[in-house]
């Protein structure tokens, strides 16, 4: 509550405020070219604002409190002929805005708000004594923005001030220790129960916050760049409606056994960039009975105990990246559809029963994450698998002696794999009748067999030279994507390398080591055109890379893939772009 004040202080404040409004109005009225309608509008606005101020003054004089409190933000742009600095606040030829709050704010904060509205000055431009001041400035401005169409912006009833998204951010990077007492003033500004999404981006914030329960209706909580050290027991137990929890780059070293207790509504848990978490205990996720997505990235997890996932009956996506997993089972994950295990530091060995508990898997990504030959029957129980990606470094691939584990995957639509010379014979014996998109990474490539009858797109990432005639049997493909190590080293390709591929509509040739100088010359580029039926009308781009397409065809390299597979492709792209 505001402090009691003297009557003269109240009178002086409002006399000064009324004078400011009069002065602002007269300056505008004195401008040349102002129409009669414009003059009438200015006088009407002045009258409305002054009437409201006098009403508030009377309330304050009766109580000897500045409660409610008002201040004026003049429209400075209307008084200048200069091009105004563009801000998110656009006045409509008004004299300004009257802001009404439940409690008094000091003149310095009111001045900062005015500068922010008129000149776009951000918190970086100001000095704040405390985090409370930073937050009060930010939230007040957000409420003003939400109501900026009003001449009189009345924020005095906090129950009516709905703010669904709230960000706690320290632009100054001066305040680290943020506690409930720093933010509990918010109940005088906003309806706390209206906050559904809370995001904290307070650099190196510590210790673990004690204020999450202050927002009982949170559905989404995001914590970034903190210095939490650990996630304590019952850390979020008051957030009964929470559906999404993200903790990124917050230096978490350990997670206590009951850290996620009470989160029965949680659907997505995303933990990234911690340190030395090592073990996920059996009961760590026991209350997350509605969890659908679990992401654990760069947490140095090595052991996932046998029953850690057993209560996650609704989990559909499990994303484990850049850990060092030695022990794990998928026990209990009967609804799992998408499994991503990424990172060469894993020391995990797969057995024939690894996917036994997950019959509904449609997406598996195992790049850089196997240390021994995959059993021939490892995928036998997976009748729904549509997307498979495996391979990685040359040392990973040398481990494989055959590709027999691919043979049961009759519904596979997308396959990405890394091959060496010793695996091509085994690969030629694999028949995948539903395969639409094949991506191969290899050093060199021999004659590819036509063992995928419905293949639409072939992508080859080649580290060394292309072999003459290696594509001659790929008569059915519509799209060919070739990636070479260096686009300056393709001069060896001539007209003898390619036969016509009757159905080909699109060719894209690019390079890892791209140079616009000494790239693919026109003669070499025209050799790639030999792949197309000569009756097709072609659009060619050969400088310095190659892109050729059939002008009469609709080009879609993902044609025939289900939406689920397309989403998996985008998920992997996003994950790898973060590395």
Its pTM surpasses 0.85 = yes
| Residues of the chain under the 70 pLDDT cut | 1-3, 81-87, 122-124, 392-397, 514-520, 576-579
Asked whether the beta carbons of 69 and 20 are under 8 A apart, the reply is: no
Angle between helices 107-119 and 131-146 (to 10 degrees): 50
Q: What is the pLDDT of residue 81?
A: 57
Cα 12 from chain centre: 51
Q: Which two tokens stand for residue 479?
A: 């799209």
E strand spans, 22-117:
69-74, 96-101
Position of tokens 């060092």?
Answer: 324
Considering the domain boundaries, does residue 375 fall inside one?
no
Provide long-range contacts, Cβ within 8 A and 24+ apart, for 482-485.
482/507, 482/508, 482/509, 482/510, 483/459, 483/509, 483/510, 483/511, 483/512, 484/509, 484/510, 484/511, 484/512, 485/511, 485/512, 485/513
Structure tokens at 413: 């639509």
DSSP secondary structure, 466-531, as one string: BPTTTTTT-TT-SEEEEEEEEGGG-TT--TTS----TT--EEEEEEEE--SSS---HHHHHHHGGG
Kindly state the tokens that stand for 241. 């409606």
* pLDDT of amino acid 119: 85
**Nearest 5°: phi and psi at 200?**
-110, 125
Which helix (H) or strand (E) element contains residue 271?
Answer: strand 268-272
Tell me the H-state helices in 71-227: 107-119, 131-146, 180-183
On whether residue 103 sits in a domain, the answer given is yes
CA distance 431 to 436: 12
Nearest C-alpha neighbor of 324 from the set 391, 279, 356, 389: 279
Establish if 413 belongs to a structural domain.
Answer: no
341 lies in a domain? no
Measured from the Cβ of residue 536, the count of other Cβ atoms closer than 10 Å reads 15
Give the pLDDT of residue 1. 42
Residue 480 bridge partners (DSSP):
458, 507
Q: What does the block give as tokens for 128?
A: 């704040």
CB–CB of 144/113 below 8 Å? yes
Cα–Cα distance for residue pair 42/28, rounded to 1 Å: 8
Flag whether 183 is in a domain.
Answer: no
Residue at 21 is within a domain: yes
What is the pLDDT at residue 578? 54
Collect all residues with Cβ–Cβ distance below 8 Å to 200 and sequence separation of at least 6: 167, 168, 169, 178, 209, 222, 223, 224, 226
pLDDT 10s digits, 228-246: 989 999 999 999 999 999 9
User: Going by C-beta distance under 8 Å and a sequence separation of 6 or more, which residues neighbour residue 319?
Assistant: 293, 294, 295, 296, 297, 338, 340, 571, 575
Other Cβ atoms within 10 Å of 207 Cβ, number: 15
Q: What is the pLDDT of residues 449-480, one digit of tens each?
A: 999 999 999 999 988 888 899 999 999 999 99
Domain range enclosing 110: 7-160
The answer to whether residues 397 and 419 touch, using CB atoms and an 8 Å cutoff, is yes
With contact defined as beta carbons under 8 Å apart, do 304 and 282 qualify? no
pLDDT attached to residue 463: 83
- Give the per-residue pLDDT at 579: 46
> Residue 559 has what pLDDT?
97
Considering the domain boundaries, does residue 85 fall inside one? Answer: yes
| Helix-helix angle 36-63:7-29, to 10 degrees | 180
- Overall domain count for the chain: 1
Q: How far apart are CA 340 and CA 355, in angstroms?
A: 13
263, part of any domain: no
Question: Can you read off the two tokens belonging to residue 368?
Answer: 């850089």
Q: DSSP label at 83?
A: P
């Amino acid at each position: 509550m505001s402090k009691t004040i003297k009557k003269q202080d109240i009178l002086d404040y409002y006399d000064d405020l009324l004078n400011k409004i009069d002065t602002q109005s007269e300056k505008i009225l004195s401008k040349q070219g102002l129409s009669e309608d414009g003059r009438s509008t200015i006088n009407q606005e002045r009258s409305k604002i002054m009437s409201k101020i006098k009403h508030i003054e009377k309330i304050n004089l009766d109580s000897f409190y500045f409660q409610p409190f008002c201040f004026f933000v003049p429209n400075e742009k209307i008084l200048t002929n200069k091009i105004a600095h563009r801000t998110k606040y656009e006045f409509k030829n008004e004299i300004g805005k009257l802001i009404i709050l439940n409690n008094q704010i000091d003149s310095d904060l009111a001045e900062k708000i005015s500068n922010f509205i008129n000149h776009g000055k951000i918190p970086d431009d100001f000095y704040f004594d405390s985090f409370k001041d930073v937050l009060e400035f930010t939230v007040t401005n957000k409420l003003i923005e939400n109501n900026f169409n009003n001449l009189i912006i009345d924020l005095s009833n906090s129950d009516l001030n709905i703010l669904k998204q709230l960000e706690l951010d320290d632009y100054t990077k001066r305040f680290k220790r943020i506690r409930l007492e720093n933010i509990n003033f918010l109940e005088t500004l906003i309806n706390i129960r209206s906050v559904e999404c809370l995001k904290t981006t307070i650099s190196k914030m510590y210790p673990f916050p004690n204020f999450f329960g202050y927002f009982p209706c949170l559905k989404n909580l995001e914590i970034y760049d903190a210095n939490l050290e650990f996630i304590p027991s019952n850390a979020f137990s008051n957030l009964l409606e929470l559906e999404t929890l993200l903790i990124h780059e917050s230096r978490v070293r350990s997670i206590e056994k009951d850290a996620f207790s009470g989160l029965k509504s949680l659907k997505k848990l995303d933990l990234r960039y911690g340190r030395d978490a090592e073990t996920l205990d059996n009961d760590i996720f026991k209350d997350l009975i509605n969890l659908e997505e679990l992401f654990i990235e760069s947490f140095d997890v090595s052991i996932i105990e046998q029953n850690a996932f057993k209560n996650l009956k609704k989990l559909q996506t499990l994303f484990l990246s850049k850990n060092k997993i030695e022990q794990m089972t998928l026990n209990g994950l009967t609804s799992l559809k998408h499994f991503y295990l990424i990172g060469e530091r894993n020391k995990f060995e797969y057995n024939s029963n690894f996917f036994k508990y997950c019959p509904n898997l449609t997406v598996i990504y195992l790049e850089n994450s196997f240390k021994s030959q995959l059993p021939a029957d490892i995928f036998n129980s997976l009748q729904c698998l549509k997307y498979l990606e495996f391979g990685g470094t040359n040392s990973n691939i040398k481990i494989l002696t055959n590709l027999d584990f691919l043979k049961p995957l009759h519904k596979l639509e997308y396959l990405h794999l890394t091959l060496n010379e010793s695996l091509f014979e085994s690969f030629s014996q694999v028949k995948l009748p539903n395969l639409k998109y094949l991506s191969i990474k290899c050093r060199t490539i021999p004659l590819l067999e036509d063992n995928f009858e419905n293949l639409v797109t072939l992508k080859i990432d080649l580290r060394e030279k292309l072999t003459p005639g290696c594509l001659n049997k790929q008569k059915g493909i519509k799209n060919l994507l070739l990636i070479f190590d260096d686009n300056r080293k393709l001069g060896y390709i001539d007209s003898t390398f390619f036969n016509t591929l009757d159905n080909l509509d699109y060719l894209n040739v690019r390079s890892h080591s791209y140079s616009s100088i000494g790239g693919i010359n026109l003669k070499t580029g025209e050799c790639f055109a030999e792949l197309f039926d000569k009756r097709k009308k072609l659009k060619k781009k050969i400088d310095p890379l190659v892109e050729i397409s059939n002008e009469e065809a609709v080009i879609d390299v993902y044609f025939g893939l289900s939406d689920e597979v397309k989403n998996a492709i985008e998920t992997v792209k996003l994950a790898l772009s973060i590395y």
